[in-house]
Protein backbone atom coordinates (compact mmCIF):
# COMPACT_ATOMS: atom_id res chain seq x y z
CA UNK A 1 0.00 0.00 0.00
CA UNK A 2 1.57 3.31 -1.00
CA UNK A 3 1.66 6.44 1.18
CA UNK A 4 -0.98 8.29 -0.85
CA UNK A 5 -3.49 5.47 -0.36
CA UNK A 6 -2.70 5.22 3.36
CA UNK A 7 -3.17 8.96 3.87
CA UNK A 8 -6.49 8.93 2.04
CA UNK A 9 -7.72 6.17 4.36
CA UNK A 10 -6.94 8.33 7.41
CA UNK A 11 -7.91 11.70 5.93
CA UNK A 12 -10.43 10.99 3.18
CA UNK A 13 -11.13 13.83 0.74
CA UNK A 14 -14.83 13.08 1.07
CA UNK A 15 -16.24 12.04 4.43
CA UNK A 16 -18.80 9.29 3.97
CA UNK A 17 -20.43 6.49 5.91
CA UNK A 18 -18.48 3.90 3.91
CA UNK A 19 -16.07 1.91 6.06
CA UNK A 20 -13.54 -0.19 4.18
CA UNK A 21 -11.45 -1.66 6.99
CA UNK A 22 -11.79 -4.91 8.89
CA UNK A 23 -15.09 -5.44 10.71
CA UNK A 24 -13.31 -6.20 14.01
CA UNK A 25 -11.90 -2.66 14.08
CA UNK A 26 -15.35 -1.17 13.48
CA UNK A 27 -16.90 -3.32 16.21
CA UNK A 28 -14.17 -2.37 18.68
CA UNK A 29 -14.72 1.29 17.79
CA UNK A 30 -18.36 0.89 18.86
CA UNK A 31 -17.14 -0.59 22.16
CA UNK A 32 -14.56 2.21 22.66
CA UNK A 33 -17.29 4.78 21.98
CA UNK A 34 -19.57 3.25 24.61
CA UNK A 35 -16.72 3.04 27.16
CA UNK A 36 -15.81 6.70 26.54
CA UNK A 37 -19.40 7.86 27.07
CA UNK A 38 -19.98 5.72 30.18
CA UNK A 39 -16.65 6.78 31.71
CA UNK A 40 -17.46 10.43 31.06
CA UNK A 41 -20.86 10.17 32.72
CA UNK A 42 -19.32 8.54 35.80
CA UNK A 43 -16.84 11.41 36.16
CA UNK A 44 -19.58 13.98 35.68
CA UNK A 45 -22.29 12.39 37.85
CA UNK A 46 -20.57 10.46 40.66
CA UNK A 47 -20.52 12.50 43.91
CA UNK A 48 -16.72 12.24 44.05
CA UNK A 49 -16.33 12.33 40.25
CA UNK A 50 -14.83 8.85 40.58
CA UNK A 51 -11.72 10.40 42.15
CA UNK A 52 -11.77 8.29 45.33
CA UNK A 53 -14.30 5.59 44.50
CA UNK A 54 -12.52 4.58 41.28
CA UNK A 55 -9.18 6.35 40.93
CA UNK A 56 -8.30 5.69 44.61
CA UNK A 57 -7.26 9.29 45.32
CA UNK A 58 -7.40 9.63 49.12
CA UNK A 59 -9.85 12.55 49.20
CA UNK A 60 -10.48 11.99 52.93
CA UNK A 61 -6.91 13.17 53.63
CA UNK A 62 -7.40 16.54 51.92
CA UNK A 63 -8.95 19.77 53.09
CA UNK A 64 -12.47 20.55 51.87
CA UNK A 65 -11.24 23.13 49.28
CA UNK A 66 -8.65 20.68 47.91
CA UNK A 67 -11.22 17.86 47.78
CA UNK A 68 -13.74 20.14 46.02
CA UNK A 69 -11.10 21.16 43.48
CA UNK A 70 -10.22 17.56 42.64
CA UNK A 71 -13.89 16.60 42.29
CA UNK A 72 -14.48 19.64 40.07
CA UNK A 73 -11.52 18.71 37.85
CA UNK A 74 -12.79 15.14 37.53
CA UNK A 75 -16.21 16.49 36.54
CA UNK A 76 -14.78 18.77 33.85
CA UNK A 77 -12.55 15.92 32.66
CA UNK A 78 -15.76 13.91 32.31
CA UNK A 79 -17.23 16.70 30.20
CA UNK A 80 -14.19 16.58 27.88
CA UNK A 81 -14.58 12.82 27.62
CA UNK A 82 -18.28 13.21 26.85
CA UNK A 83 -17.51 15.65 24.02
CA UNK A 84 -15.08 13.12 22.51
CA UNK A 85 -17.58 10.29 23.09
CA UNK A 86 -20.34 12.16 21.28
CA UNK A 87 -17.92 12.89 18.44
CA UNK A 88 -17.05 9.15 18.28
CA UNK A 89 -20.78 8.35 18.30
CA UNK A 90 -21.39 10.69 15.36
CA UNK A 91 -18.57 8.98 13.46
CA UNK A 92 -19.94 5.52 14.38
CA UNK A 93 -23.42 6.39 13.17
CA UNK A 94 -22.86 8.70 10.21
CA UNK A 95 -19.19 9.13 9.16
CA UNK A 96 -17.51 5.71 9.37
CA UNK A 97 -14.84 6.70 6.85
CA UNK A 98 -13.26 8.62 9.77
CA UNK A 99 -12.80 5.54 11.98
CA UNK A 100 -9.06 5.23 11.19
CA UNK A 101 -8.54 8.88 12.19
CA UNK A 102 -10.47 8.28 15.43
CA UNK A 103 -8.09 5.43 16.26
CA UNK A 104 -5.19 7.85 15.95
CA UNK A 105 -6.94 10.13 18.46
CA UNK A 106 -7.68 7.23 20.81
CA UNK A 107 -4.09 5.95 20.67
CA UNK A 108 -2.75 9.47 21.26
CA UNK A 109 -5.04 9.95 24.27
CA UNK A 110 -3.95 6.72 25.94
CA UNK A 111 -0.28 7.30 25.10
CA UNK A 112 -0.44 10.76 26.67
CA UNK A 113 -2.25 9.40 29.75
CA UNK A 114 0.80 7.19 30.31
CA UNK A 115 3.27 10.03 29.68
CA UNK A 116 1.45 12.53 31.91
CA UNK A 117 0.99 9.90 34.61
CA UNK A 118 4.75 9.42 34.72
CA UNK A 119 5.52 13.15 34.52
CA UNK A 120 2.97 14.15 37.15
CA UNK A 121 2.35 11.20 39.48
CA UNK A 122 -0.33 11.56 42.16
CA UNK A 123 -0.89 9.95 45.55
CA UNK A 124 -3.19 6.93 45.32
CA UNK A 125 -4.28 4.29 47.80
CA UNK A 126 -4.56 1.60 45.13
CA UNK A 127 -4.42 1.09 41.40
CA UNK A 128 -7.08 2.88 39.41
CA UNK A 129 -8.85 0.76 36.77
CA UNK A 130 -8.14 3.47 34.20
CA UNK A 131 -4.41 3.35 34.91
CA UNK A 132 -4.38 -0.44 34.50
CA UNK A 133 -6.15 -0.11 31.16
CA UNK A 134 -4.00 2.62 29.60
CA UNK A 135 -1.26 0.45 28.07
CA UNK A 136 -3.56 -2.37 26.90
CA UNK A 137 -6.01 0.14 25.40
CA UNK A 138 -3.13 1.94 23.65
CA UNK A 139 -1.87 -1.33 22.15
CA UNK A 140 -5.38 -2.38 21.10
CA UNK A 141 -6.00 1.06 19.52
CA UNK A 142 -2.81 0.74 17.46
CA UNK A 143 -3.83 -2.75 16.34
CA UNK A 144 -7.37 -1.60 15.52
CA UNK A 145 -5.95 1.34 13.55
CA UNK A 146 -3.94 -1.12 11.45
CA UNK A 147 -7.07 -3.22 10.90
CA UNK A 148 -9.14 -0.15 10.07
CA UNK A 149 -6.80 0.84 7.23
CA UNK A 150 -6.52 -2.73 6.01
CA UNK A 151 -9.08 -2.68 3.24
CA UNK A 152 -11.62 -5.44 2.87
CA UNK A 153 -12.89 -5.82 -0.66
CA UNK A 154 -16.53 -5.15 -1.08
CA UNK A 155 -17.31 -4.22 2.55
CA UNK A 156 -19.12 -0.95 2.92
CA UNK A 157 -21.27 -0.13 5.91
CA UNK A 158 -23.88 2.54 5.75
Condensed to tens digits (0 to 9), the pLDDT of residues 96-133 reads: 999 999 999 999 999 999 999 999 998 888 888 878 88
pLDDT at 2: 52
Q: What is the pTM of this model?
A: 0.87
What is the 3 state secondary structure string of the chain?
A: CCHHHHHHHHCCCCCCCCCCCCHHHHHHHHHHHHHHHHHHHHHHHCCCCCCCCCCCCCHHHCCHHHHHHHHHHHHHHHHHHHHHHHHHHHHHHHCHHHHHHHHHHHHHHHHHHHHHHHHCCCCCCCCCHHHHHHHHHHHHHHHHHHHHCCCCCCCCCC
**pLDDT surpassing 70 at residue 16:** yes
- In the prediction, which pLDDT does 128 show? 82
- Reported as a single tens digit per residue, the pLDDT across 38-66 is 999 999 999 999 999 999 999 999 999 99
Average pLDDT, the chain: 91
pLDDT band at 3 (very low <50, low <70, confident <90, very high): low
Amino acid sequence: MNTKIQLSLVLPKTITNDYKGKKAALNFFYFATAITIVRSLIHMLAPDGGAQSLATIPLDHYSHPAKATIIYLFGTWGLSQLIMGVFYLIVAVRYKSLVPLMYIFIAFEYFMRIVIGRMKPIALTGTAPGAMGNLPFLMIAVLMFALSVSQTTGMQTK
